Amino acid sequence: MRASSGRPEPRLVLAGGHPLRDEALAAVNRDLAVTVPGLPALRLIVCPDADDLDEQVYVALSDGEAHGTCLIPAEWAGEAMTAVADAAQETVTERLWRAWPVCTVHDLGMHARDVDGTPSWWCAGGSRKGDPAHIRAAIGDLDTLHPPRRPNRRRRKTRRPR
């Protein structure tokens, strides 16, 4: 039975209840802290209607605001990481009213992708030839810049032959 007046408050998911998600959220929060310094860390909340902690878990802002779809059940770390990153992206993008996270090289919104087993932020790259899609950083490592590879660019020789 459901109460007719108002909705029950979503519950906070306690740390330790889902180690893979806790770890993933910590990584995404590192990226959030370096890209949007004013925004408090994200947290996991569970919908009041959910029967157990594996159901209807959302990535929410510190005030409980959450957007997008609930997390899909994840069985391994990489899967949990991209799921949490996707959900965090929906919530943060909605709050900021702009793309997040953004590739600092191309000024484009990035997407969470598993790249050879490493959950990463992927950027579609520039529209010009020689400016291909690239991996900006592993999720959780956005403070480290990985510039796109430009194979056509010539390296200037710094040392003259003797």
**Contact predicate 32/139, CB 8 Å:** no
Amino acid identity of residue 77, one-letter, is A
Nearer to Zn ion, 58 or 121 (CB): 121
Taking CA atoms, 59 is separated from 63, 132, 150, in Å, by 11, 31, 36
Give me the least distance between CB of 158 and Zn ion, in Å please. 27
Enumerate binding residues for Zn ion (CB under 5 A).
Answer: 103, 105-106, 123
Nearer to Zn ion, 11 or 111 (CB): 111
| Selection from 125, 74, 58, 66 nearest residue 93 by Cα | 66
Give me the least distance between CB of 103 and Zn ion, in Å please. 3
Give me the least distance between CB of 162 and Zn ion, in Å please. 40
Residues 6+ apart with CB under 8 A from 80: 20, 21, 23, 24, 74
Nearer to Zn ion, 21 or 106 (CB): 106
| Selection from 145, 147, 151 nearest residue 130 by Cα | 151
Nearer to Zn ion, 20 or 105 (CB): 105
Nearer to Zn ion, 71 or 123 (CB): 123
**Contact predicate 147/125, CB 8 Å:** no
Give me the least distance between CB of 101 and Zn ion, in Å please. 11
Give me the least distance between CB of 119 and Zn ion, in Å please. 17
